[in-house]
Amino acid sequence: MLALTLLLTTIPVQETMAQETVVAGLSRAAIEINTNFNGSEILIFGAVGRVSPPPEGAPLHVIITVEGPDQPVTVRRKERRFGIWMNIDAVEVDAAPTFYAVATTGPLNEVLTQTEDLRLQISVPRAIRAVGVNVGDTDNFTDALIRIRGDSDLYQMNEGSVTLRDATLFDTSFRLPANLVEGDYRTRIFLTRNGEVVGSFSHDIAVRKVGLERFIYNLAHDRPLLYGILSLVIAIVAGWLASAVFRYIRP
Amino acid sequence: MQVYLPIAEVSVNAFLLLGLGGLVGILSGMFGVGGGFLMTPLLFFIGIPPAVAVATEAAQIVASSFSGVLAHLKRKTVDLRMGTVLLVGGLIGAAAGVQVFALLTKLGQVDLLVRLCYVVFLGLIGGLMFFESLRAIRRARRAGHTPVAKRRQRGWIDALPFKMRFRTSGLYISVIPPLLVGLFVGVLAAIMGVGGGFIMVPAMIYLLGMPTKVVVGTSLFQIIFVTGFSTLMHATTNFTVDMVLAVLLLVGGVVGAQIGTRIGVRMKAEQLRILLAIMVLIVCGRLAMDLLLEPAELYSIGFAGAGH
């Protein structure tokens, strides 16, 4: 009996899901970090595909998220000890995205219900998981993480920055800062009605160091001793060259 | 022109780095100091992670001292025997310092340690230099002649065992004090990203009683190997040496040093020293303020693993 009710309730949801689907495109499939990398902009656009006319009633909303690779981080808090401000308490955050941006067509609390947010981990606080509890006020630490990363544009909340035309065509752009971490950046697009997600789409953008940056980074981590020696030799040669050139110009 | 630094993982203006290198280079040329103790804090101020700043600065010191060592070797103003003893101590100290650095990075206290070291040493050296050169200027005004330096007094150092003859310096002393001086400088080199000349030179003159003409060459000889070694240690344990950053700073620094040397010969030694002392005290004060005043942001983010 229970199984039957579950079955009955799931069918209509699946039907609505199938009614409106996302057809999306990205302005670029990959982002390359090279020597003069200074941040990047990605344009995300798409259309809502339908087999029948849009349902009446609640308007359609679009939420787009871009999420960088997760990393465990330690958030530390300074306190005054012996007259000096030093790190005392720390909270380990098991997984925090190195970059996270949300763009919506309207205020997030109107276009998405709390339950859906919890289920799909859409808003910034939901995307962070802090498990290790060393102190009582863990929330202050995760808030600080969001605040600090928000200040350097690593966490962005762009409410109302998605334009939706005729409930069909949508587009938005994200500004990626210069200090990006390498990895696959998951882009998710959600269609919502009445705060419920009715359609979704997901795609990865690869962010990679290329050229000289790639070479130096790999060398430093794969052959650290060789890299260290090479750094010294290059530094010595560069210093010698600079002084030779200078003496040549101004005898 | 922005440059993305591959190890520091930040984007910085290349001309800012060249300029910083040049500025510190001018000062180090004027005052005849390594400049590491000024460059490393300046790198903190422009947002380079302290771990990367310290490790990269070590590489830069090697490169900028290289030509100096060659010149001193040619002039035979290096006490190789004393240099080797200092070096043995220095290598042990640097190895220990890098381990301490890695451990404190994990504990999240590396920032505090580096800053505290800077405040203590810059304050001490700056203060001593300031009063010493004030006194020298006053003395020069009053008498117009420099008093004869007192002969080094025989004390506890001569009572220590394991004596060794250092022919170039004309000394017959125990190896323990130079070993300890070397060790101490090695630890500082690894933790502070400095050559340590500002500690070693006074220690060699006043503590070991070495003749002034071999002091600079011998200390450079020790510095180049110790900082070279600590660069390699940082590169292999913490992965924090940024090649691009080192080269940019160095090119600016070498050109700056040439200009600085030309300015330096036109100024009086006491004036130079008092200027240097004031500068050291300013940097010290700026770092001390960060420790003593309540920071605007009490929280900070660190990565769980060191270096990665």
Whether residue A12 is predicted with pLDDT greater than 50 in this model: the reply is: no
Greatest mean pLDDT range, A82-86, A90-94, A135-139, B30-34:
A82-86
Which three-class secondary structure state does DSSP give residue A24?
Answer: strand
Q: Are B304 and B48 in contact (CB under 8 A)?
A: no
Tens digits of residue pLDDT in B294-305 = 777 777 777 654
Q: How far is the C-alpha of B93 from the C-alpha of B227, rounded, in Å?
A: 11
Position B219, amino acid: S
Q: Please give the pLDDT value at position A149.
A: 82
Please give the model's pTM, rounded to 2 decimal places. 0.73
Helices A224-249 & B243-264 angle (0-180, nearest 10): 30
**Which of A147, A216, A235 is nearest residue B62 as measured by Cβ atoms?**
A235
Amino acid at B149: A
Q: Contacts of residue A179 in chain B, CB cutoff 8 Å?
A: 9-11
**Beta strands across the sheet bearing A169-176:** A20-26, A40-50, A169-176, A163-165
Fold of A16-68+96-209: Immunoglobulin-like (2.60.40)
Better-predicted residue by pLDDT, A41 or B184: B184
Q: How far, in whole angstroms, is CA A101 from its chain's centroid?
A: 5
For the CA atoms of B102, B199, B92, B247, the dihedral, rounded to the nearest 10 degrees, stands at 60
Q: What is the largest CA-CA distance in chain A?
A: 97
The structural domains of chain A, with segments of one domain joined by +, span 16-68+96-209, 210-251
Pairing of strands A155-158, A100-104: parallel
Pairing of strands B10-13, B2-5: antiparallel
Per-residue pLDDT, B307: 35
Instruction: Please check whether residue B4 touches A, CB under 8 A.
Output: yes
Name which of B223, B254, B299 to mutate to probe chain A: the one with the most chain A Cβ atoms within 10 A of its Cβ.
Answer: B299
Q: Which of A87, A221, A228 sits opposite B109 (nearest CB)?
A: A87
Nearest of B237, B206, B259, B193 to residue B43 by alpha carbon: B193
Q: Which chain A residues contact residue B108 at CB under 8 A? A: 74, 76, 87, 90
Distance CA B43, CA B245 (A): 10
Residues in chain B predicted with pLDDT less than 50, given as ranges, are 305-308
Per-residue pLDDT averaged across A63-85, rounded?
81
- Contacts of the segment B12-18: beta carbons below 8 A, 24+ positions apart: B12/B46, B12/B47, B12/B48, B12/B245, B14/B248, B16/B46, B17/B245, B17/B248, B17/B249, B17/B252, B18/B248, B18/B249, B18/B251, B18/B252
**Average pLDDT value for residue range A116-142:** 70
Q: Percent of chain A at pLDDT above 90? A: 0
What's the CA gap between B26 and B257, in Å, rounded?
5
Q: Does B281 touch chain A (CB under 8 A)?
A: no
How many angstroms separate the Cα of B16 from the Cα of each of A232, A236, B2, B26? 22, 21, 9, 15
- Model pLDDT for residues A197-235, shown as the tens digit of each residue: 888 888 888 888 777 777 888 888 888 888 888 888 888
**B162 in the Ramachandran plot: left (φ > 0), alpha (ψ -120 to 50) or beta?**
left
